Amino acid sequence: MSESWIVGINPVEGALSNDAERVRELLVEHGQRNARVHELAERAKALKIPVHHRPREQLDKLAGPARHQGVVARYEAPPMASEGDLSRLVEAAGGEALVLVLDGVTDPHNLGACLRSAAAARATAVVVPKDRAVGLTPVVRRASAGGADRVPLVAVTNLARTLRELKEAGLWITGLAGDTGQSIYGVDLKGPVALVLGGEGEGMRRLTRELCDFVAKIPMPGAMESLNVSVATGIVLFEALRQRGSVR
């Protein structure tokens, strides 16, 4: 486990709501008048979490380039889920398994936004390769708006092997790419599935694509060739939910 600082009102609120036992202390800016910051401080005290008032300069230093809004929390981050956890999660989800696989998303804001969408869609897990992902950094946590605490993030050593194991577990693998004629809206996503999206710029790697059962695109009638990976993630996850009757 490692300690990090969660910065800003919404991220701190998410940590207190979803993972309070890992919050070690709150630092509140001296003279802070924001009602939400005071509410967070009172919640922390009720949870027996120490609250300290500190000069703005100290919070600025801890927050770095991020806006702390008068509050930061020292957080003991849990380790990312293991490869063994993935098989357990998939087995528990059964026919409702919905796994998001991100092949090389290295921008922390994008990864955080993908986790946010995955949590909103109640995804079973988010899978990333250990050597091509940023991990659960403070920036990722902030961008996820609490999603990092709600959906397991699994870092795997060999993504190709993991995709084969997901197939053996009964999941159908659908990858997203722009250079195919198949629309995502024409792919059956109602059963246990894994949705694979590539990283910024490069897309899926060749071997990853070859292991997909289907390769589909998001139709875009406008004058754009591609979408940001986090936007595309939200679209395909909620298309899966729509097909399953989970979105009304």
Which segments are annotated as binding site for S-adenosyl-L-methionine? 198, 218, 227
- Cα–Cα distance for residue pair 58/35, rounded to 1 Å: 21
DSSP calls for 153-207: EEEES-HHHHHHHHHHTTPEEEEE-SS-S-BGGGS--SSSEEEEEEBTTTBS-HH
- Cα–Cα distance for residue pair 148/17, rounded to 1 Å: 12
Beta 193-198 vs 71-77: how paired, if at all? unpaired
Beta 193-198 vs 98-103: how paired, if at all? parallel
Binding site, by residue number, is 198, 218, 227
